[in-house]
């Protein structure tokens, strides 16, 4: 009920419209049609691009970090430290995370920015924390640890006997990863990437605190539509935007669940 009731409310309210003059409500598909054009469409494109880029980068960097930690000699303590830190950092977001980055590399108040500019006479090379690239950097701060937590069980499920059998049969390292390790890891890696995509797509507080409404993101547009200083009836547009997000995230998580079912026999 907690999951389905809000979705049902969104599905109903997205098909309603409020007359700005008479304040009368009626059934309409205008809000759904508005989602596919203008600023709303640009917001969806911006959110999808940001989520895709950060999901791919988070997957690559998180996978590399997890592999490095698991391969480290006498790395049991290091592995426990990394996994513990990842569990904390994967849940570190919102306004505190935005403030931490502003205080570190912000254009005006950043400690590192001030050190590079005033002490070393250097700059950030045109990089701005308040841009799409800056927001992607902030998202990676919690997406990489999330990837480490998600992919580590799959990496640990790669049995040493498979590599030994591959070596005994004369296969090279590339052949092992091409025909054994790669096919086994591909489903959980894709599933983890989908999880990262959904997390970035649904993130709101960090983007709101960092860039406000200057970037075209669907979560920020929903907040603007539902705020108190909007035109009468625009809350229906916000509802339609939210329903679209539910559909996108639902498709992503359905694919994630399907991939996870295919990998259960390897994780056992």
Q: What is the pLDDT of residue 137?
A: 92
The string of pLDDT tens digits covering residues 165-217 is 988 988 888 888 888 888 888 888 988 999 999 999 988 989 998 888 788 89
Helix/strand/coil for 25: strand
| Over residues 153-163, mean pLDDT | 85
The string of pLDDT tens digits covering residues 42-93 is 999 999 999 999 999 999 999 999 988 888 876 788 888 888 999 999 888 7
Q: What is the pLDDT of residue 110?
A: 73
Q: Which residue carries 């959980």 as its tokens?
A: 188
DSSP the chain: -TTHHHHHHHHHHTTEEE-TTT--EEE-SHHHHHHTSHHHHHHHHHHHHHHHHHHHHHHHHHHHHHHHHHHSTT-HHHHHHHHHHHHHHTT--HHHHHHHHHHHH-TTT-HHHHIIIIIS----TT--TTSHHHHHHHHHHHHHHHHHHHHHHHHHTS-HHHHHHHHHTT--HHHHIIIIIHHHHHHHHHHHHHHHHHHHHH--HHHHHHHTTSS--HHHHHHHHHSTTS-TTHHHHHHHHHHHHHHHHHHHHHHHHHHHHHHHHHH-
Tokens of 19: 């007359």
pLDDT at 231 over 60: no
pTM reported for the whole predicted model? 0.84
């Amino acid at each position: 009920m907690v999951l389905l009731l809000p979705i049902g409310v969104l599905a109903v309210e997205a098909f309603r419209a409020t007359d700005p003059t008479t304040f009368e409500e009626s059934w309409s598909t205008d809000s759904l049609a508005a989602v596919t054009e203008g600023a709303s469409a640009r917001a969806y494109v911006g959110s999808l691009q940001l989520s895709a880029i950060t999901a791919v980068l988070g997957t690559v960097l998180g996978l590399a970090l997890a592999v490095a930690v698991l391969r480290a000699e006498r790395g049991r303590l290091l592995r426990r430290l990394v996994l513990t830190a990842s569990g904390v950092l994967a849940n570190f977001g919102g306004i505190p995370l935005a403030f931490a980055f502003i205080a570190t590399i912000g254009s005006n108040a950043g400690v590192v920015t001030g050190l590079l500019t005033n002490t070393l006479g250097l700059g950030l090379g045109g990089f701005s924390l308040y841009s799409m690239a800056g927001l992607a950097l902030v998202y990676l701060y919690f997406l990489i640890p999330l990837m480490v937590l998600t992919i580590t069980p799959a990496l640990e499920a790669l049995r040493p006997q498979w590599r030994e059998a591959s070596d005994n049969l004369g296969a090279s390292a590339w052949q092992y990863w091409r025909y054994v390790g790669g096919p086994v890891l591909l489903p959980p890696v894709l599933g983890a990437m989908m999880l990262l995509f959904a997390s970035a797509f649904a993130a709101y507080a960090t983007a709101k605190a960092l860039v406000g409404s200057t970037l075209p993101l669907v979560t920020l547009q929903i907040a603007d539509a539902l705020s108190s200083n909007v035109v009468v009836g625009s809350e229906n547009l916000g509802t339609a935007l939210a329903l679209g997000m539910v559909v996108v995230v639902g498709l992503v998580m359905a694919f994630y669940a399907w991939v996870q079912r295919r990998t259960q026999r390897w994780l056992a």
